[in-house]
Amino acid sequence: MNIMDKLANRAKIVGPVCVGLDTKLEFIPKCISETNGTAGEHIFEFNKRIVDATKDTACCYKLQIACYEALGLDGLRAFSDTLKYIRSNGLIAISDIKRGDISSTAAQYAKGHFCGDFETDIITVNGYMGVDAISPYAPYFEKGKGMFALVKTSNPSSVDLQDTLESDGRPVYMHMAELVSKWGSSYTENRGLSAIGAVVGLTYPDEFIKIKAVMPNTFFLIPGYGAQGGTGKDLARIFGDGICGVVNSSRGIIGAHKGKTEGDDFVSYIACAAAAMREDIMKWL
């Protein structure tokens, strides 16, 4: 099995909740922030406790690298330590890095995030530069790595480009869906899932159905749940014939304790938020 098959199997067992560790200092409770240590050390301790509290509920964890880069080297150490902690627990880590560049540069990104200090299981990639932005990662697929390529993103202004109609009447996002499916067809094991998945936002459920129809061997990373407006009910049609992706929530989970506690019990609020999200999704299946 490749990494997407493993991720899909785990989603079927524990549910499709992806906990987004888009950790900012404003989320850190005083029980951690007022102890000795750097900002990065506080972030890692916060992340570590979240993983411990949700590992039986979460399918995987997604780290948005910008939240860590903003703190410089201290933040990147927290990024590295969090990835190592997730993977040391036998859990799946997704690094949300959205890289997209020419092949020589992409090869360096691949090495930087599939090996060494920042090693992860799956990355996000912007393929709108074409296959040159995708192919350098392929050698790592045989080593158990994978990627999610952007197809139809959850942000409101995605329509500015992705909904533009081409000469044949197709929106750009459908063209991209077909390209990602084509690129991924070479990395599908035993008629399973492709090692190249797709990012499609829950904020566009009608478009999602159209995309899913042209990507039969694709597993999805689905942003847009919770704070961006997506709900479990929106997933009813998308998951109508089974779980085909993981659903990410960041603020709705890791900020669940805000305004309620600054003590060590903050993890109970986070664990409850993850469990409630899982219940909200699973009841519609």
| Rounded average pLDDT over 224-243 | 83
Told to judge if 12 belongs to the known catalytic residues of this protein, a careful annotator would answer no
Residue 236 confidence class, pLDDT cut points 50, 70, 90: confident
Position 178 scores a pLDDT of: 96
From 55, 98, 111, 258, active-site residue: 98
Q: What is the pLDDT of residues 183-194, one digit of tens each?
A: 998 877 666 899
DSSP string, the chain: --HHHHHHHHHHHH-SEEEE----GGG--HHHHTSSS-HHHHHHHHHHHHHHHHTTT-SEEEEETHHHHTTHHHHHHHHHHHHHHHHHTT--EEEEEEE---HHHHHHHHHHHHSGGG--SEEEE--TT-GGGTGGGGGGGGGT-EEEEEEE-SSGGGHHHHT-B-TTS-BHHHHHHHHHHHHHGGGB-TT--BSEEEEE-TT-HHHHHHHHHT-TT--EEE--BGGGSB-TTTHHHHTTTS--EEEEESHHHHTTTTTT-SSTTHHHHHHHHHHHHHHHHHTT-
State how far Cα 282 lies from the chain centre.
Answer: 19
Higher pLDDT, 265 or 205: 265
Q: What is the pLDDT of residues 237-260, one digit of tens each?
A: 899 889 999 999 999 999 999 999
Q: Locate tokens 């406790």: which residue?
A: 49
| Rounded average pLDDT over 37-60 | 98
Position 190 scores a pLDDT of: 65
**C-alpha dihedral (278, 123, 178, 247), degrees to nearest 10:** 10
pLDDT at position 175 over 90: yes
